[in-house]
Structure 1
């Protein structure tokens, strides 16, 4: 496995400068800023990611104000009550993306947040040295937050972490961190160990390390 400095050099050779490599890396919020985010905003971001899966993100963005209205601001207790006539109404509401499976998943996530409030605090306190564990926790507790959906939600909300995009996975494979897909518990443990090492070497947040890995691969 190469050092982080070596991988950064590869990325700089491709992009021209360190600044160009890191351009676009999203900022990380403090633990207290993350803890202060209310559960309705976590549920809203979950819903955005769920709706974006498999369709154009621009479609979701254009419809988002109407989606917020239809889901009554994503207050978890209200969303948890979406069943029967309320569910039927959403399935015929032109403001939303009318996927029954996705709407039910958002309803179920609202129920989980209503029963166990304070997700911001839980995420804020979760150590970045076990980001893989946080992804696994979200996947276990919430519906349709597997794959990259949970990781994207955390990044948008300001939690330090990595996204296992195609290019990031390709670099991890090139460094023999993993040999196949980044899906098994064994692979995720190896990935976390590699990121922790690169973080210790570089002093950079996981967001930027992830960005460097992605930029070090020729997308071809």
Structure 2
């Protein structure tokens, strides 16, 4: 049975664990405005998605150290240029020592290039689509990335959105554990039932607190567990 706490209770616990209100507030993210999101060039979205794909299961530090090589090898993630790259060239690029040589992950780049290009044709830009996506259906945006893109399921898509400034909660280990312990979710984390229940709980907390989803997610993580946000 779901026992959804009032947000004030969660917040008070996080304040206590983090040593005061000021200390907690200093740790919280601040999402971009829709106008700021729309100003992001689509090549930066492709770069961010690619970086998160490569960081999945790998050292984030190693990926960051190699990132200048990725930018060079993949033409600064210019969408129009990458649309013209033939399949055999993608395979050659996957062997370039300037990047992390992983054919499967390299081949996500053309797939995600096409996804961004298609969204741009429909919405004017990929950034515009993301900016206009309603927060009360953020799980719908997660699903879009997972089904229209490549290797963007799980937390890969949501973490990219968070990094780029789109307001989203994250089902980190701590947040998932909290939702399970309170009965908000009781099945597989990525099932539609669990995602819908999580979205409803976050919507309610947002109405109570007036805070963005990202801060609610972080405060839940800080309120218990190991603080994996």
Structure 2 length-normalised TM: 0.91
2:119 and 2:129 in contact (8 A); partners too: no
* Partner residue in 1 for 2:204: 197
Q: Which residue of 2 aligns with 1:183?
A: 190
Cα distance, 1:14 vs structure 2: 1.7
CA positional deviation for 1:48: 0.5
On the 8 A contact 1:170/1:217 being kept in 2, the answer is no
Which sits farther off after the overlay, 18-27 or 88-97? Answer: 18-27
- Taking the TM superposition and a 5 Å limit, the aligned residue runs for 1:68-217 are 68-117=71-120, 118-217=125-224
- Give structure 2 stretches of 5+ with no counterpart: none
Query: Cα 1:116–1:126, aligned 2, differ >3 Å: closer, same or farther?
Result: closer
Instruction: Return 5+ residue gaps in structure 1 as ranges.
Output: none
Task: State the distance in 2 between where 1:121 and 1:115 align.
Answer: 12
Q: How far did residue 148 of structure 1 move?
A: 0.6
Q: TM-score of the superposition, structure 1-length normalised?
A: 0.94
Deviation readout 1:149-179 (Å, 9 max, x if unpaired): 1111111111111111000111111221112
**CA distance in structure 2 between the aligned counterparts of 1:151 and 1:19, rounded to whole angstroms:** 27
2:66 aligns with 63
Structure 2 CA distance for aligned equivalents of residues 61 and 7 of structure 1 = 34
Structure-2 residue corresponding to 1:37: 40
The residue that corresponds to 1:48 in the other structure is 51
CA deviation vs aligned residue, 1:89-140 (integer Å, no higher than 9, x gap): 2122111111111011111111222333211000111110111111111111
Deviation at 1:206, TM superposition (A): 0.7
Shift of 1:77: 2.6
